[in-house]
Amino acid sequence: MENGLNNLDVYDYVTVLNPVTLDISYKWPGEEYSYTENFGTREYSCYEDFGFSSVIDSSETRSNRKLIWESENFSQLANKVKFELINKKLNTLTIYQIDGEIRKFVKNSRFWCELNGITLNISYKSGCDEIFEVHNSANTLGYFDKLRTKIKCENLSSKYFNTLNDNFFDKIVMYIGDLGIKKLIFKSNNFSECAKQVSICSSNGDKYLSILHKNYNYSLLKYTNDIEKWVDITESRMNLSKLKFYNGEKYLSIKDLKIKYEIYLYEMNYCVVFQDKDVDFDVIDYFLYNLIENSLKIFYRSGISVTHDPNKNILNLYNNSLVFNNSIYNIDNSPENSAVTVENLDKPNEIIDKFDDGIILNINGYVNKKYVEYICTRNNKFKQISVENHVIWSSSDPNEYVEKVSYYNGIDKYLMIFLYNNKHLLYYCQGNSESWTDITYKRVDLKKIYLINEDGKRLTRRDYDCWISNFQCEIKPKKEVKKIEINKLNLLYLNGYYDEVIELIAINFIYDELIIVLRNGKIIAFSISNHKVKLIQHD
């Protein structure tokens, strides 16, 4: 059953590839491919516009070439082939097809044969480090680093199996009773149906098993106690292959978006994470389809999350603008960021006047939330920001505008305004005072924080992910950072952390702190008040 999204984010099928036959007995590059060799491993990689259509072995005799593998159609051409010499009698061959499939062959003595998959026993408590890994979640919250968010798994106990090093599961079994009777749960009928990832969950007394196949379709099974069998209930769930994305003008398939993405199975969530983000702040970041609850949630770069009707196949590429025809969203700091229309904002907390050239926002200082964020939907801009009718900021230039405003309602109050040119302003109000002060110049300037790699070069915007929410900026480097400099001071050098890998950098604008989280779990924190750097915590 085709119900998933093809993971075709890297390949452009518009370009017609020229088929090439590869002879693995050749230890040199060709006109159509490159060649590298390192410690018994030979790798052949096609140049642009070429693809391997077959792989042969003529090492024994040129007149008797043995066909190892041949593509059945254009989409199964390969762009990389890896040959490994294990010992004098055993060789392995891995073929990477452009459709995402990976084929593995082994030569023992004189004959090449395709490797079968692994049989997974779901009662395993641990897995071989080189074949697959096993994770167990707590009964409360699971955490998925790639999504930068916590996924609620209340009353849920799960076990997660992930294949490693291009391996796959072709069978899933379980053993029951004192005698250890083996029962077959799943068996693949062809290579593309083999399992990449498997998750087992117990929720409210029911047991579920989900499978992410190599072709990125999914299966969902439920254990029935009365007949003691796993029953396939996949057809009762959403067919993700029919999803279309509305960009304001057209309905596009995920392949037509021209945005790279990755697909994962995490606990009982089918996760689609977009890698190349549009410059538009409103564009989709990722979405999760909960297989047990049959619910789909969309997360946008702006921080807004929207629960989508699983009976509808249209997703909005930009901030759910197709469903809510409104000018502004109101977001609090709960996991369920709520979308609110202009007409039903909680008055008198927010008073909105919309004009042709922009929106006037007046915030009541006695809102009942600690953090509130206001984000304009597409084609709308703020022209004036007020708190209790006191104008804090207004645009004097028609080309100057604001799309996002953050408000902190504590003993002291803060207002953060995000300008159109990637700059921000920070205002402060002490206690019950009605006077607001611009303190932007007293806080750290993000443009003066330099991330430097091992070559001594500054990381560019493409080398890290960056997002700001609830008065905190978080930076996640994609490349190794050797120095973090503020005012020409290397924060890592000051504390002797020369060789540690940085996982995350966080800047809190209210407390004026910079926090460095290392891959090993250690934390270093600095006060950066008035541009003076002071160490306040280190592990």
> Would you say residue 142 lies in a domain?
yes
- Write out pLDDT tens, residues 500-532: 778 888 888 888 888 888 877 778 888 887 667
Q: What is the tens place of the pLDDT at every residue in 455-482? A: 888 888 788 888 787 788 888 888 888 8
Asked if 262 and 308 sit in the same domain, the reply is yes
Does 2 reside within a domain?
Answer: no
Weakest-pLDDT range from 9-13, 39-43, 334-338, 463-467: 334-338
Q: Give the DSSP letter of residue 440.
A: G
Mark whether 236 and 364 lie in a shared domain: no
Long-range Cβ pairs for the range 511-517 (8 Å, 24+): 512/442, 512/443, 512/444, 514/444, 514/449, 514/486, 516/484, 516/491, 516/492
Asked if residue 477 has a cis previous peptide bond (ω within 30° of 0), the answer is no
- In contact, 192 and 214? CB cutoff 8 Å: yes
Is it the case that residue 226 has pLDDT exceeding 80? Answer: yes
Q: Which residue has the higher pLDDT, 15 or 315?
A: 315
Give every CB contact of residue 375 below 8 A, 6+ residues apart in sequence.
281, 302, 303, 304, 319, 328, 329, 331, 403, 404
Task: Specify whether 455 is located in the same domain as 432.
Answer: no
pLDDT tens sequence across 399-443: 778 888 888 888 889 999 988 777 889 999 988 788 899 998 888
Query: Do 134 and 277 have their domain in common?
Result: yes
Answer with the one of 60, 85, 114 that is the final residue of a domain. Answer: 114
In a domain, residue 4? The reply is no
Do 316 and 455 fall within a single domain? Answer: no
Interval 526-539 mean pLDDT: 74
Q: Which two tokens stand for residue 517?
A: 């989280």
HEC-encoded secondary structure of 478-504: CCCCCEEEECCEEHHHHCCCCCCCEEE
Where does the pLDDT of residue 75 fall: very low under 50, low under 70, confident under 90, or very high at 90 and above?
confident
Number of domains composing the chain: 4
pLDDT, mean of residues 99-118 = 78
**What's the mean pLDDT in 199-215?**
89
Within a domain: 228:
yes
Residue 3 in any domain: the answer is no
pLDDT given at position 107? 82
Domain boundary among 322, 339, 373: 322
Question: For residues 374 and 330, is the Cβ–Cβ distance under 8 A?
Answer: yes
Same domain for 379 and 269: no
Does residue 290 share a domain with residue 205? yes
107 and 130 share one domain = no
Residues 162 and 307 grouped into a single domain: yes
pLDDT tens for 478-504 read 888 888 888 777 777 655 555 677 888
Instruction: Give me the domain span that covers residue 225.
Output: 118-322
Last residue within a domain, chosen from 322, 355, 378: 322
186 and 245 in one domain? yes
Question: In this structure, is residue 12 part of a structural domain?
Answer: no
Q: Is the pLDDT of residue 340 over 50?
A: no
My answer on whether 193 and 250 are in the same domain is yes
pTM reported for the whole predicted model: 0.51
Q: Are residues 94 and 61 in the same domain?
A: yes
Q: Tell whether 5 is covered by a domain.
A: no
Give me the chain's average pLDDT, please. 77
Task: Determine, yes or no, domain membership for 407.
Answer: yes
351-364 mean pLDDT: 64
Q: Is the pLDDT of residue 46 over 90?
A: yes
- pLDDT for residue 311: 86
Q: From residue 102, how far is each of 97, 98, 191, 428 by CA, in Å?
A: 6, 9, 9, 57
Mean per-residue pLDDT for 231-246? Answer: 92
pLDDT band, very low/low/confident/very high, at 351 (cuts 50, 70, 90): very low
